[in-house]
Structure formats: structure tokens, C-alpha cells
Structure 1
Amino acid sequence: MTIKSTTDLTCAIYQDALNIRKAVFVKEQHVPENLEIDANESKTIHFVKYIKQQPVGTARLLPCPDKNFNLIQRVAVMKAARHQHIGSELIKAIVHYHLAHYPDQALQLGAQEHAIEFYEALGFQVIADEPAYLDAGMRHREMRLIVK
């Protein structure tokens, strides 16, 4: 089991990330591909979890130098690989990377409402003064990592 990361949009790791996102967001959740693949692709660090060299999960980290936080986005796990802690391993790897490279910035994400408990178990809390919003037709809430 390995987690690899890249900023290179021409490499296999990025292609694996895209394939997972298309399977989960575009095919399963019916997110239009033009919303899923956005202008931030080249600005993010793409993480992919592999089991026996097969890509099974992905997420990306978007540095936001003009804000006081960075964003975790596009967290997705292939249907056949769910309920194996892959999502939490990806989030922990991103948190570790973030703390090593951006120690002075907070870490935030927009969680689909059904995933709030998952992120709470990893130390994130809903930002109380931020209302729920629709993203690609799905309700989301902003969450921020609480580092103890």
C-alpha cells in the first residue's frame, strides 16, 4: 500500500487520480466533467493511494497563498475499495504533507453533508458561521482541521 503525489499533469499518477475522480464523481454522482476537471488542476498536489499497484483512492491539496488556509478537494475512493480506511489514509497523508510544508496555514475542505462524520473523526469541525452550500448539486459544509 502506497500513497504517491504529484504536480505533474503529464504523469501516470495524475492520470490515475483523474480516472478515479471520473469514476466516482462523473459516473457515480453525475457531476458534469467540465465542473470536475477545473482550472485548479495545475495548482494542486494530487495524491493517489495504491494497493498492489492499483489506484484505489485520490484527493488533492490546493495551496491558497492569498488566504489563511489551504484546501483539501476531490476526495474519492473507488466503489470496490470503500470501507477499507483508504479515505482516512489519504486525508492523514495530506495533513502530514500540509503540516510539513504549510505550518502557518489552516487546512480546510468542503464536505458533502453525508461525509461530515467521516471528517470529524479525522479532526475536522464544521465552521459554524459558514452556511451549507450546493456544489455540483450536492449540499456541502465548510470544515476546518482543528490541530491540538
Structure 2
Amino acid sequence: MLRFRQDVFIVEQQSPYPDLDGQDPFCRHLLVTDIMGRLVAYLRARGPNLETAAFIGRIVIARDWRGKGLGRQLVQAGLDFMDQTFPGQPIEIGAQEHLTDFYMGFGFVREGETYDDGGIPHVTMWRR
């Protein structure tokens, strides 16, 4: 799982920042594998706590699987999990700016200005 994320976020996207942020032990991890058992898609989700809102993040699709609708299915599965586990809670994502319209299709709304995350423009989005 960690290597899969690093292959995309650090190698492919050429981010100089480490993927590990200490949040993984507190998250639920949704993994999708192909028929050979290879990881092809991933996201992590965490419910709200005293310091932060619920969030979904580290959404990643293997290059060969992009453009086939898997991302839409993955995000919907993550949202379904959050809605069942934390009903009524707003959900935050830090979206790459070019994917804003994609996330708007799930009811997310952009809030705030564009910010840099590892050399890639991101925006904060909320689904309330």
C-alpha cells in the first residue's frame, strides 16, 4: 500500500515531500486489487475527532486503470463508508485543482484559495 502510494505521489508526480504523515494508523483503508491480487486503487478515510473533521484522502488509481471509471467507483465507495459510519458529518478533501469538477460531481464544494502541496496545486473541498 505504501509503495503504491509512493510510486504515484512521489515518483510519478515528482513530489519532493514524503507521503507518510502519521495519519495511517487512525484511518480506514479501502484497497482495490485486480484478479492477480495487484493493488490498482486506494483511498484512506478517517472520521472526525476533537481536532479535525472527517476526511477522505490519498486517493490514487494505478496509471493503467485510469479513465475506466474506477476512480468514480472508489470515491463513491469511500463516501458510502463515511455516510454509514459517520452519518451527517461533513467530509473534507484536499483535491488536486484539476480534479475539482470530478469531486463536485459527488457534492463537494470548493472552499478557499489554491495552495501548493508537494508542487501540485490543491484546493480544499467540503461535502456537507
Query: Same fold, TM exceeding 0.5?
Result: yes
Matching of residue 91 in structure 1 with residue 75 in structure 2: yes
Deviation at 1:144, TM superposition (A): 1.2
Q: How does 1:34-53 map to 2 (within 5 A)?
A: 35-52=18-35, 53=37
Normalising by structure 1, we get a TM-score of: 0.78
Gaps of 5+ in 1: 1-16
Distance 1:35 1:64, change over 3 A: farther
Alignment root-mean-square deviation, CA = 1.6
The more displaced of 66-75 and 101-110 is 66-75
1:102 to 2:102 alignment: no
Matched, 1:58 2:42: yes
SS of aligned partner of 1:93:
helix
| Equivalent residue for 1:140, pick from 106, 122, 126 | 122
For structure 2, the residue ranges without an aligned partner over 5 or more in a row are none
Give 1:35 deviation, angstroms.
2.5
Q: Contact conserved, 2:10 with 2:18, CA < 8 A, in 1?
A: no
Matched residue count? 127
In 1, are the aligned partners of 2:43 and 2:59 still within 8 Å (CA)? yes
Distance in 1 between the 2:7 and 2:94 partners?
20
Q: Measure, in 1, the Cα distance between the counterparts of 2:50 and 2:90.
A: 12
Question: Structure 2 length normalisation: TM-score?
Answer: 0.89
1:72–1:109 contact (8 Å) kept in structure 2: yes
CA spacing shift, 1:46–1:145, aligned 2, 3 Å: same
Deviation of 1:29 (Å): 0.7
Please give the alpha-carbon distance, in whole angstroms, between the structure 1 residues aligned to 2:103 and 2:120: 17
